[in-house]
């Protein structure tokens, strides 16, 4: 008596959903152990920072430059109370409101500075790396000169030149953002230029040239798409650096005026004399806001950097069906020399 084996039906592989393919969520699924903890903590702090900036008008009980309410003036250097849960500054401003509105100022400067630097850096890096020649040499020399110059000092000089004594909200924000933009352009320029030089020697780029594709089409259709893989990592790291630069400008007195917008660095500068007098609340909360915001963005950037490097990816232990423990990589294994030879063939 013969028995026929039943046909084995295999289900087609399921494609990951759209949410799981998003950059940060994809890395979150790949991370394990300490990397996952760092990434989750960074995302939580960054999410709080962004939400506070978005809903600042609804969270802050007073305006950033408000000195009195219906009951009268707030008073200078008042300790924390029910009316002012974080006290008041030496200028008579509510500390809690200044901290909340300062998140909105910081996020606006970060967005403008980083987006402008990304746009200019990518464009210059593409043109320099693809065209080459004397244009490439000139742009490299200029970028290296800017990159070698002290970033904070350059931001101070540019902030003075751009602002021109303006004290308006958008005038101060644009002056701070554009001064930070010039500092960040060489970073994106060098990354995109190096990737462009590598990619333009690939076979598919040579095939596009033989088919008669124009240089702009090759740069923006074929090269740019493959040269921007590391930009999310640089974006997060530069965001924290932009926040520190903004705070440094405000602390040194070259930032945004207090009547134009709330800025944490300026509030720290005005709180220096309070610390020696035992008035701790005017400096504690703006400084804590800077530390937490920078820590959150930095944790996200460093975690993404670790997960993007195969040599730094964490490994996790999984149980096999036999009950033994084995080490497996979080991501797909690196190709062997034989696989590389077969692909080149």
Question: What is the pLDDT at residue 51?
Answer: 93
Q: What percent of the chain has pLDDT over 70?
A: 76
Question: What is the pLDDT at residue 345?
Answer: 47
Long-range contacts of 147-150 (CB under 8 A, 24+ apart): 147/186, 147/187, 147/190
Instruction: Report the CATH number at residue 52.
Output: 1.10.3720.10
pLDDT band at 115 (very low <50, low <70, confident <90, very high): confident
CA distance 272 to 278: 11
> Is 311 among the domain residues?
yes
Question: What is the pLDDT at residue 340?
Answer: 46
> Is 285 among the domain residues?
yes
Backbone angles phi, psi at 84, to 5 degrees: -135, 95
pTM of the model: 0.74
CA distance 183 to 194: 19
> Is 279 among the domain residues?
yes
pLDDT at 240 over 50: yes
Question: What is the pLDDT at residue 209?
Answer: 77
Question: What is the pLDDT at residue 316?
Answer: 44
One DSSP character per residue, 43-66 reads HHHHHHHHHHHHTHHHH-SS-TT-
CA distance 286 to 271: 10
> Is 239 among the domain residues?
yes
CA distance 130 to 21: 30
> Is 95 among the domain residues?
yes
> Is 301 among the domain residues?
yes
> Is 21 among the domain residues?
no
pLDDT at 169 over 70: no
CA distance 223 to 204: 10
Question: What is the pLDDT at residue 308?
Answer: 62
Q: What percent of the chain has pLDDT over 90?
A: 9
> Is 223 among the domain residues?
yes
- pLDDT digits 0-9 by tens, 264-312: 888 888 888 888 778 888 888 999 999 999 999 888 887 777 666 555 5
Question: How many distinct structural domains can be found in the chain?
Answer: 1
What residues make up the domain containing 197?
33-68+75-315
């Amino acid at each position: 008596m013969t028995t026929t084996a039943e046909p084995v039906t295999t289900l087609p592989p399921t494609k990951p959903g759209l949410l799981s393919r998003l950059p940060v969520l994809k890395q979150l699924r790949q991370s394990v152990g300490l990397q996952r903890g760092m990434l989750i903590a960074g995302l939580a702090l960054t999410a709080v920072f962004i939400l506070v900036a978005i809903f600042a008008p609804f969270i802050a009980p007073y305006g950033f430059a408000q000195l009195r309410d219906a009951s009268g003036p707030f008073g200078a250097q008042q300790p924390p109370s029910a009316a002012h849960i974080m006290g008041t500054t030496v200028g008579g401003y509510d500390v809690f409101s200044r901290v909340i509105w300062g998140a909105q100022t910081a996020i606006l400067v970060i967005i403008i500075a980083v987006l402008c630097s990304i746009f200019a850096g990518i464009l210059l890096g593409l043109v320099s790396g693809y065209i080459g020649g004397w244009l490439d040499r000139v742009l490299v020399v200029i970028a290296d000169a800017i990159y070698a110059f002290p970033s904070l000092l350059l931001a101070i000089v540019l902030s003075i030149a751009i602002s021109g004594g303006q004290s308006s909200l958008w005038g101060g924000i644009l002056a701070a953002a554009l001064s930070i933009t010039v500092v960040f352009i060489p970073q994106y320029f060098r990354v995109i230029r190096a990737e462009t030089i590598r990619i333009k020697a690939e076979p598919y780029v040579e095939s596009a040239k033989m088919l008669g594709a124009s240089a702009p089409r090759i740069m923006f259709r074929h090269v740019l798409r493959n040269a921007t893989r590391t930009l999310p990592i640089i974006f997060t790291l530069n965001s924290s650096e932009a926040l520190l630069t903004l705070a440094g400008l405000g602390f040194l007195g070259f930032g945004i005026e207090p009547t134009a917008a709330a800025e944490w660095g300026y509030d720290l500068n005005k709180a220096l004399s309070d610390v020696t007098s035992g008035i701790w609340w005017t400096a504690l909360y703006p400084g804590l806001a800077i530390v937490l915001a920078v820590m959150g963005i930095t944790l996200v950037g460093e975690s993404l950097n670790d997960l993007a490097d195969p040599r730094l990816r964490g490994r996790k232990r999984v149980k096999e069906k036999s009950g033994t423990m084995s080490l497996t990589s979080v991501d797909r294994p690196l190709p062997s020399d034989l696989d590389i030879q077969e692909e080149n063939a």
